Structure 1
C-alpha cells in the first residue's frame, strides 16, 4: 500500500516556479517545512517523491535497474535516444562498457596536457587588476578541451562545433524542463531552433565519422568509439555515436565550467584558504587543492536533482512505499547541507576532505549507482588542472564582497555574476599589499 510523505498542495505550475526557478531556495524551504522527504507535483516530472536521507539514497542507488530505472523524462529527450541518459537496462550497460575506457587510466592522464594547454591559452587573455567574470573563460577552456579529447587535432569541423555547441547548450537548457511538442515547431521557437541546431550537429558528426579512417594513428574518443564493438561483435551505429558524443560535449563541459566558476567565487571569499593553496602548490602538494574542488561541489552543486523512476508496484524505500510510475528525486542540495552528514554545512571548509575521500552516497554531484556520470574522472581531472594552472600563473585577489547569488541556467545553477575575478600574473611582480589583507569569512 502506498505510503508517501506530505508536500505542498499548490497547483503544479506554482510548485514549479517556486521549486525549480529559485536555485538553492525553493527546495530547501520545503525541507524546512516538511522534513527530509516530501512530495511535489511539477511539470514534466509530475508527482514525485523528494528524498535526502543518506540511507534511503544508498538504497535507491543500489536498487536494480529492473526496479528503479533512470528518472523519466530525462536529458535523453534533448540529447537523443542513443545517449547514456536515454538508454535503459542492458542497452545502458552495454554502452557504458564501451564509453568508460576513454575516460580512465592511461587515457585520462594523456588528456591532462590538453586541458593545461587550453587553460594557459585562455588565461593569457585575462585582464590584470580589473574585475571580470571567469565563467566565459572556463566555458571556453572546458569546451575546447573536450573537443580536442573527443576529436583529436583541430580542423574545420572542430571550429564549427566550437561555434555550434554553446548555442545548443543554451537553447537546450531552456527547453529541457518544458513539455516538448509532438509536432514540428517553427524555427523561431526554442524547440524549432534546437531541432535546426541538432541537424547541423548531426551533419558535422557524419562528416567526422567519414574521415575517421586512419585509426591506427589516432587516440581520440571518436576513433575509439568507431573501433569499439559490443559483445556480439557489432559496431555502434552512427546515430548512437552522435548521441553519445553530444552528451559528452554538451552535458560535460557546462557543468565542469560552472563548478570552476563557483570555485573561484568561493576561494576569493576565503583568503586564508587561498594563501594556503598557493603555498601548497609552490611546495608541490595537491591535497588541499583537490579537497577545495570537492568542497565547492558540496556547497555549490550545479545540478540539484538526480532520480529514478519506479517500475514495480509498491516499492519499499526506507520509510516509504512508492507506487509504480512515480519518480523519486534525490535532492543534492538538501543532502549536502545536512548538518548530520556534514557538520557546520554552510561553512566552506575544504579541510573536511583533506586526506579522505567523500562517501559517494553522501556527496553526489555526479549522481550515483549504475548511472553515476561516466565523465566524473575526466571532469575531476579537468577542474584540478585548471585550478593548478591558475594558482601557478596568477594571483587571485580576495574580496570582501557578498557571495554571488545562484542563477539558474536551466540545467545548471551558476554564480549570478559569472564568478567575478581579479587577477595579477605572478610573473609580473608583487600584488599590491591591500589584496593581501585577511578578510572575514562569508558563507
Structure 2
C-alpha cells in the first residue's frame, strides 16, 4: 500500500555535496547509502535533481512496465549530446515509432553478416598485440568496436572511414563527460563549443555517406544499417530526414562502441583472475562450444556493469512505486550496481561464478546492464554477439596468462566505468595457429593500420 505524500529516506546534505560524493565514489557510495537508508532512498544530485534510487526487483519491474503517461524519458538525457533526432531524446509515441524502424537490423540474417565483420576486425587488431609483456586491452577493444560500427552501421570505407575513425573517439569521449557534468552550454571557453565544432564535422562526413547511399543503385544488397535506414519508412510513408539519420547513427555508435569495448576489457580483467574458469573456457572454445562463454559474459556484465544507473522521469501528478507515491518531476534511478551486488538476487553475489547462468537466462528485472522496458538497449543482441566473437577469437588465437594481481579498480570515463588499468593482459600466440595476415578485408581497403593511432601498450 502506498504511503501518500511520503518519500523514501535519504541524505539532507546540499546538492553540491551529494554530487561530489556520487562522483568520488559511485559504487561504494551507493552501497553505503543502501546500508544506511534501505533498498529505496532519495538523493539530490546535479543533472538528475531530486531522485529516488531503487534496486528491489519488484519495484524495478513496476517501473519498467509503467506506461509512458506515468513515467518516461529523463528530461536531462543523452539526447542533449546526441541531437534532437536521437532515440534518447524521443518520448512516448514518437519514441515507439522511431524504435520500430531501428529494431530490424539487429536481428536475424543481418547479425550473421555482422559476425564476419567482427571476426575480421578482431583478427586484424590482435595481430599487433605484444607477446609476453603486459599491456592494456581497452584501447584495442575500442578500436575493434569502432571499426565494426563504422562498417556495420555507417557502411563507411575509404576517406569517410578514416575521417570518422579519427574524429569519433574524441567526440564520444568529450560527449560522455559532458553528459554527466553540469557544464554551462555557453561561453567562450565552454567545452560544449568544442563539441559543437566536432558535431559539425561529423554531420558533413555523414552527409556524404547519406548522399552516396541515396545514389547507390544496389542499396538493397547492402547489409549496413545506414542503407537500411535510408530505405525505411514510418507508418505514414515518410522517410527519416538527414539530421535525424545523423542523430541515429551517432546514437547507435555511442550505445554500442564504448560500453561494449569496456565490457570486453573487464572480461579480460575478470578471466585472468579466475584461472579455473579461463581453463574451462579455452577447452570449450577448442571443442567448438559456447555455453560457458556466453554465461561468463553474462557474469562479467553482472559483476562489472559499465553503466551504473538507468532512469525515468515521473510525468503524472503522482505515481505509486512499491510503498511510495512519487510526485511529478521526480527522477527514478535504477541502481544496476546495487541490484547485481545483492545476495537475494544472486547468491554469493560478490563471487565471479559463470555457472550461475549455465542452462538459464537471467531475469531481466534483476540483471539489467542493458536497461529495461521500452527503453532497453535495442542493440543488446548486437553487443552480445560482438563480445562473444571477440572473446572466442582471443581464446582461439592466444594464451591469456592468469594473474594473482589485485582486482583493477573502477575508473569513471563519464558515462561508462572502466578498469583503471585498462584491462591489462599478458598473452602468447597459441603455437598451433599461424599468425594471421594483417591485410585489410576488401570492404575496408585504404584505411589506416589497426594499430594506430594509439599503441595498445600505452594505456595503463
TM-score, structure 1 as length reference: 0.95
Q: Specify the alignment match of 1:88 in structure 2.
A: 91
The SS at the match of 1:25 is: helix
Q: Specify the alignment match of 2:302 in structure 1.
A: 298
Q: Specify the alignment match of 1:311 in structure 2.
A: 315
Q: Specify the alignment match of 2:211 in structure 1.
A: 210
Q: Which segment drifts farther, 306-315 or 383-392? A: 306-315
Residues 255 and 379 in structure 2, CA contact (< 8 A), matched pair in contact too: no
The SS at the match of 1:85 is: helix
* Aligned with residue 396 of structure 2, among 392, 399, 403: 392
- The structural deviation recorded for 1:389 is 0.2
**Quick one: distance in 2 between partners of 1:408 and 1:101?**
33
Residues 156 and 209 in structure 2, CA contact (< 8 A), matched pair in contact too: no
**Quick one: distance in 1 between partners of 2:334 and 2:298?**
19
* Aligned with residue 141 of structure 1, among 141, 144, 147: 144
* Aligned with residue 272 of structure 2, among 268, 273, 276: 268
- The structural deviation recorded for 1:38 is 0.5
Q: Specify the alignment match of 2:194 in structure 1.
A: 193
* Aligned with residue 247 of structure 1, among 251, 255, 259: 251
The SS at the match of 2:153 is: helix
The SS at the match of 1:47 is: strand
The SS at the match of 2:333 is: strand
1:226-251 per-position Cα deviation (integer Å, ceiling 9, x unaligned)? 11000000000111111010011123
Q: Does 1:422 align with 2:426?
A: yes
* Aligned with residue 164 of structure 1, among 162, 167, 174: 167
Q: Does 1:132 align with 2:135?
A: yes
Q: Does 1:408 align with 2:412?
A: yes
Residues 118 and 144 in structure 1, CA contact (< 8 A), matched pair in contact too: yes
1:194-245 per-position Cα deviation (integer Å, ceiling 9, x unaligned)? 1111111111111111111211342211111111000000000111111010
* Aligned with residue 325 of structure 1, among 317, 324, 329: 329
Which residues of structure 1 form unaligned runs of 5+? 430-443
**Quick one: distance in 2 between partners of 1:350 and 1:80?**
38
- The structural deviation recorded for 1:427 is 2.2
Q: Specify the alignment match of 2:47 in structure 1.
A: 44
Residues 185 and 192 in structure 2, CA contact (< 8 A), matched pair in contact too: no
Q: Which segment drifts farther, 167-176 or 372-381? A: 167-176
- The structural deviation recorded for 1:152 is 2.6
TM-score, structure 2 as length reference: 0.91
**Quick one: distance in 2 between partners of 1:182 and 1:261?**
33
Which residues of structure 2 form unaligned runs of 5+? 434-460
**Quick one: distance in 1 between partners of 2:75 and 2:331?**
7
Task: Count how many residue pairs are aligned between Structure 1 and Structure 2.
Answer: 427
Q: Specify the alignment match of 2:375 in structure 1.
A: 371
* Aligned with residue 72 of structure 1, among 69, 75, 90: 75
